[in-house]
Chain A
């Protein structure tokens, strides 16, 4: 994260040219103007952020080592919650689902977005229409997207029934009610909403590739596939890598679509770590245990970021 952000102008701008400063009242003195005032501008939002994010995040570390219902006092139990995690089959199952989710999201939407962005970058007329249309699902609220697709996937009168009528096999079931198909189905719905976002990012990046590269390739008789592989992909590599990183992180945090569509069901088949946190904290009154699961999620996110940093230090151009 820190690394990949380097192209944003993060460094503070240098101080404006120094100006004459006759020693006057205290609020006109240099220390006040140069040191205190800048902090007064940052402090309000910083305090809010610390109160909402950092403070509770740090206390989660403590609560993860306690038995706590969330209401009464917390009893310190050391690493008990973590021992319990390792032996909890639902934790292992949820983690596995997060990994499956990760693999699905690292392949399908990225491939789709790359192909669509590449096709879109070649056309002139109508490109604005396609760009807006394909991005549109991304601005819709998850509950509405989920409701739309719950209807469309209804086994009796939705698309599956139509597909079955046409003789396409595999659709004669409740895709969201079947333990074997529920997770890919939710991922499909989430993806319908998500992939256009990736596409727009890739497209913006592709538009920064110099057209002369493509002209040269065409003179050499390169095929479309060769252009895509040897010019487009290397040209957008920073964006591609950054989005692979972000997609990996988001895959460990995914919650909305799963909760809205199935609440982790049927029979826990679509449970992921975020769903476990929610259920333990707000339904089972196991706030301490939920904090431990939440902390483990941050740990996995940290591993993803660490892998990227290590690969970069090793000289991978990512």
Chain B
């Protein structure tokens, strides 16, 4: 079941008993699949340093000369200095709100025996499986009335709401495992629940917070539908929505669009590779996010 999937890296299992020779077909097939996964990214890297003329002659191969200028050009034309900032603000606001408010809710569900906690859990489960298209239309016009369209905090509130169920479930499953000894001792000493939460439970469950923070940050950074709908003003575009417009404006200039794409995905790939266990753990345990 997705929610219990062990995220540990391939543990040496009994199936390794096969001889080296018998595993050759495995390596052949897996290598072909790896080429399928990486090939397009490698070609993207090649194209990001080609000029228009070379793209025409050599659209898929290794570049003959390296036009590094594509990168600063794409940064400037794609207005990255603004969009990176917008996306960064959205990620920062959403991640802090989800971790603080979601962490509080998880603490209450895991440790405080919340009266009616099962109903809250059920509500969050149902809420997390409602399609965005169901509430998108009234939500947009409500946000318009409240003046929250074209506002980064306005969109961050929506992201906080849509990411909350996943975050609460994950954080709760971390907190449930914590032994109650420290909390009980603190309670006897007269500490209130807020202090127990901030001084004991959060420090002990930081891996959970890190995992959830990473998954939420990636989701917000990559999000397209809500960002398109709620941020229509060019100054408020995120990296993703701006890139979408950028590719339609410069659809002929693959060098430029490829360089812009590289600037968007290289940071993601680096962070993913550095922290891949946490990413895989968060995304597979959540299992609920498309």
Contacts and interface: CB of A to CB of B under 8 A. Distances in A.
A291 B137 contact: yes
A136 B10 contact: no
A171 interface: no
Contacts of B41: 136, 148
Given A16-B187, A45-B164, A53 B37 contact: no
Interface stretch (A83-91, A157-165, A178-186): A157-165
A74 B4 CA distance: 46
Do most interface residues of chain B lie in helix, strand or loop, or is the interface mixed?
Answer: helix
Nearest to A139: B272
A212 B102 contact: no
A16 B184 contact: yes
Contact of A277 (B1, B3, B4, B137): B137
Interface in A105-164: 115-116, 119-124, 126-144, 147-152, 154, 157-159, 162
Interface stretch (B27-35, B62-70, B204-212): B27-35
A17 interface: yes
B10 A124 contact: yes
Contacts of A34: 112-113, 115
A129 B221 CA distance: 25
A192 B33 CA distance: 10
B102 A45 contact: yes
Contacts of A15: 112-113
A44 B55 CA distance: 53
B77 interface: no
Do most interface residues of chain A lie in helix, strand or loop, or is the interface mixed?
Answer: helix
B41 to A, nearest CB: 7
B224 A142 contact: yes
Contact of A45 (B104, B136, B137): B104
Contact of B161 (A8, A52, A144): A52
Given A34-B113, A38-B108, A122-B26, A246 B34 contact: no
6 contacts: A8-B169, A27-B192, A38-B108, A41-B197, A239-B5, A297-B134
| Pairs of residues from A and B, 6 with the lowest C-beta to C-beta distance, nearest first | A211-B14, A52-B161, A204-B5, A41-B108, A127-B10, A56-B135
